[in-house]
Structure 1
Amino acid sequence: MALAARLQRFLARKGIPYSELPTPQADDLESAVIASGQSRSDFVQATVLIDVGGALLVAHGLDSALDLDAVFHLTGRRLQPLTARQTMRLFGDCDPGFVPPIGTAYDLPVLIDDDVAHAETVLLTGGANQGVVKMDGRDFRRALAGARTGHLVIRGQGNGDRAALSLDEVADKLQRLYRLPPMPALALRILRLTAHSEATAKELAELIELDPSLTAQIMRYARSALFNYPGQIHSVQEAVTRVLGFDRVAHIAMGIASVRAFDVPRKGPLGMDNFWRHSLYSAFVCQSLAVHCRADKALAYLCGLLHNFGLLLIGHLFPGEFEELNVLHADNPEASMHSLEQQVFGHAREEQILAVGHGAIGGILHKLWQLPDAVIKTAAMHQHPGYHGDHETYVLMVQLSNALLKPRGIGDEFNPDDVPALLESLGLAPDTVADLETEIDRVAPDLDALANSLSS
């Protein structure tokens, strides 16, 4: 018998047909799938989740990993997987590890991934470790009448469970296991210069002019239509004093110099071309938001510019996994980057530390580089919706800038954001968005040109 007693009674009561395919007794679902000789792409698995509101079951393809961020966007609930022991309390008549994806038989609400919702044939465990069940896709969905559907997974082989690590543990392991790049010498000298309240435009210009490439990029920036300066600019010092200002020049120069610490491909959705485009647009939007939020414009610009450096560090340390992340991102544009990173990292024990996400990794790097606390916090927390804590205004400005840039195809993830909630948290009126959109449209050609020059 391939079916648990409760599931068998449920299907009989509903008049839902199925076929039993006997297999030798298996230790786990994966072994049963192999023993069945059936196409694994037709197999549906169950993941049971829980929060304070109770448990629910998600039915999704065997070769997929559940995206908890996507589940949140569909349900509004922050659900977490049950342990194996907790799960078996709900499925007491099933063999351990053989939970059927027909949660309705066990009085559980069910979510169905879009792929399963359109399958013609479905294979599944019926709760027993000897045999699998085959059903017509329509009959399977009839058994789950009332279930909600949505895109809930990351396509590709799942990695299994991972133990959570604290950020202190992550920082410690990163520094012990890997040779983290130091801040490039020129970027460090610029950072130290900005720490002195008496630093002059002449001193900053002299530092920048030590590097011909950086000099050319700063001059190109100052002459762009972003600033519409009517006169001629012949030196970096003039760019500082007449057009850009000390803080803006220092921050863009430090960002350009810092990127040189990383060896990352130009192309791909996460490559250097798109990194610079995202960073420059985010810096511009954050600086514009700072005016409305009574925040420091220069610091807001730096937060937007540097918040995604964790991606560069991952690409620098793990080129193979970074390429895999690029591919997964292209195949799963609706998935959050945090979920994709959890999918890619964790095969080896040492790499599990990177499953915390590029935001936390970037925050650790910025702390190591002794950047301002607000920059550290925005890098570390920009992947965390609903953040409350230190430097909250700067974190929320970065989150809002990313949300506003997504419809333009700018950024590294395109799952929805709660823009009204972000506006409310920042104390901004809804019409602020329209004004920002107009400003972004005005400067877009110049930001694109600058991004292209910086990545080349």
Structure 2
Amino acid sequence: MPVPTSVQSLLSKQNAHYQVSAIPVDENERSHWHDQHLRNMSAAKSVILQDTNGRVQVIHSADSLLDLKAVNRQLGRDLHAASPEEVHKFCVSHNVHSVPALPKVAGLLTLVDRSLVERNELWVDCGDEAQLLRFSRDDFRNILEDAQICDIAVPLLPLEQDDSNSSDSEQILGAVRNFTQLRVKQRLEETLELPPLSDTAQRIIKLRVNPNADISDLAQIVETDPSLAAQVVSWAASPYYSAPGKIKSIHDAIVRVLGFDMVLNLALGLSLGKTLTLPKEGPHGVMPYWQQAVYMAATIEGLVTAIPRDHRPSFGMAYLCGLLHNFGYLILSEVFPPYYHSYCQFADANPHVGHNAIERHLLGITREQLASALMSLWSMPEEVVVGLRYQNNPHYQGEHSQYAKLIFVAQRLLRYHGIGRGPKLPVPQQVYDDLHLDPEKANNTVANIIESSEDLKHIACELTPHGH
């Protein structure tokens, strides 16, 4: 396939020398191939930013994080990423798959990260996903004309490393000290100034460790919280579970449809989620918090079923991990509001990057560290603390690691279907082996979840406070 015409004519006008390198695209992997290939090749990629004064093009390496604050300092502006719809419009009008990493591609003011100009040779996204362009250092410099060369990106790899040299609590307290007006107090929960756990959540946590607890104890707690009771009944009555007959009571929902373990964990997940306010804003196209939680819990439930009985982790725990997997997102918006706003802007400008790297760049800690520290303070089960903390580390091998790996697998598989944010990446075979999970069964599970998406959306709507 030839280089896009708009790119060819731009390069011939500039009398540019370049080589075209065709890349074999694996059709099965197409959905994540382009971004990942650019990153593997350390190729140049392009982003369109805008503000009230118009649009700007920025070119940086695909294995780096674009530092939006550095761009705005450089230009004295308040730029943010163009929306996916606007980028799509741009690509259609220039007949390209992605924004070519070439200066002046649409006559826009262009900023280029300095690291690109210092390389002996450079691979460049030409706007066509089946090939890259290769420039020598001199040839690339020749096409820069009046582009501004500046330091506007930071390498991704160090930001993706989990720092285990100091404890999570120390890192969180450091972040609080550096980034908020909160006074660091002796205890972490006081420092984070989070609302106290609801009475319902406290009673369920006590019930969870009581070996003699039975269905009537659980039904009694759920019934005393009218909104929780309505949600459990609505969950049990949803077409997703297709229970025969009408659900008449909480007792009925537990006995006939959901089971003790499921209702216990569902009630706990819901009451914890309501402790914090849902953020009003989020990155472009971010799925509503409860919808994502419901998809994850249902996916993990399916994955556990696909694991042979001898190797299965606890259904209830795995389900609870799925429901709470993104709890740190709520903490981030509640405790660090200005930095949460920056996170949203950075996520929009860096769709090729996972949230961890952005959070480490902005705050020095991740939402997973915040969430697991808080779960620990709230005396939640160790399985949940570990599951939430290590969900992005497929190499973690400590006790309860299978809960973290289940979240990891579920997130990656759902990404393929456009659910969640960040790069689309395959699940390493080793993770499937560690879980005793057959990849084909795992993929079928997710396909079934996607087919039930309308039912799951209905459940999520019931969980979302009105006005969000």
Shorter-chain TM-score range: 0.5 to 0.7
**Which blocks of at least 5 consecutive residues in structure 2 are unaligned?**
1-15, 18-55, 73-113, 146-152, 177-187
Q: CA, structure 1 residues 226+304, in 2 after alignment: closer, same or farther (shift >3 Å)? A: same
8 Å CA contact 1:60–1:153 kept in 2: the answer is no
8 Å CA contact 2:122–2:134 kept in 1: the answer is no
Query: How far, CA to CA, are the matches of 1:212 and 1:454 in structure 2?
Result: 13
Residue 203 of structure 1: aligned partner: 217
8 Å CA contact 1:377–1:395 kept in 2: the answer is yes
Which among 118, 121, 127 is matched to residue 102 of structure 1?
A: 118
8 Å CA contact 1:44–1:101 kept in 2: the answer is no
Deviation at 1:417, TM superposition (A): 3.7
Residue 294 of structure 1: aligned partner: 312
Q: CA, structure 1 residues 111+421, in 2 after alignment: closer, same or farther (shift >3 Å)? A: farther
Q: TM-score, normalised by structure 2?
A: 0.62
8 Å CA contact 1:205–1:236 kept in 2: the answer is yes
Which among 243, 250, 263 is matched to residue 249 of structure 1?
A: 263
8 Å CA contact 2:168–2:369 kept in 1: the answer is yes
Identical amino acids, percent of aligned pairs: 26
1:318 aligns with 2:336: yes
Which among 197, 202, 205 is matched to residue 183 of structure 1?
A: 197
Query: How far, CA to CA, are the matches of 1:442 and 1:283 in structure 2?
Result: 15
Residue 393 of structure 1: aligned partner: 402
8 Å CA contact 1:266–1:272 kept in 2: the answer is no
8 Å CA contact 2:297–2:322 kept in 1: the answer is yes
Cα RMSD, aligned residues only: 4.1
Which among 121, 129, 135 is matched to residue 141 of structure 2?
A: 135
Amino acid at match of 1:376: V
1:329 aligns with 2:329: no
Residue 308 of structure 1: aligned partner: 326
Deviation at 1:325, TM superposition (A): 1.7
Amino acid at match of 1:235: S
Deviation at 1:344, TM superposition (A): 2.9
Which among 293, 308, 312 is matched to residue 279 of structure 1?
A: 293
Query: How far, CA to CA, are the matches of 2:251 and 2:217 in structure 1?
Result: 9
Aligned residues: 336
Q: TM-score, normalised by structure 1?
A: 0.64
Q: Deviations over 1:165-220 (max 9, x none)?
A: 53241355562643133322211111111211211211111111111111111110
Deviation at 1:401, TM superposition (A): 0.4
Which among 357, 376, 399 is matched to residue 367 of structure 1?
A: 376
Query: How far, CA to CA, are the matches of 2:64 and 2:370 in structure 1?
Result: 30
8 Å CA contact 1:45–1:101 kept in 2: the answer is no
8 Å CA contact 1:336–1:415 kept in 2: the answer is no
Deviation at 1:408, TM superposition (A): 2.3
Residue 262 of structure 1: aligned partner: 276
Which among 435, 448, 458 is matched to residue 426 of structure 1?
A: 435
Give SS of 1:431's match.
helix
Query: How far, CA to CA, are the matches of 1:206 and 1:43 in structure 2?
Result: 58
Q: Is the radius of gyration larger for structure 1 or structure 2?
A: 1
**Which blocks of at least 5 consecutive residues in structure 1 are unaligned?**
1-15, 18-40, 48-56, 66-97, 105-109, 124-133, 140-150, 346-354
Query: How far, CA to CA, are the matches of 2:253 and 2:437 in structure 1?
Result: 32
Query: How far, CA to CA, are the matches of 1:187 and 1:385 in structure 2?
Result: 30
Residue 383 of structure 1: aligned partner: 392
Q: CA, structure 1 residues 42+268, in 2 after alignment: closer, same or farther (shift >3 Å)? A: closer
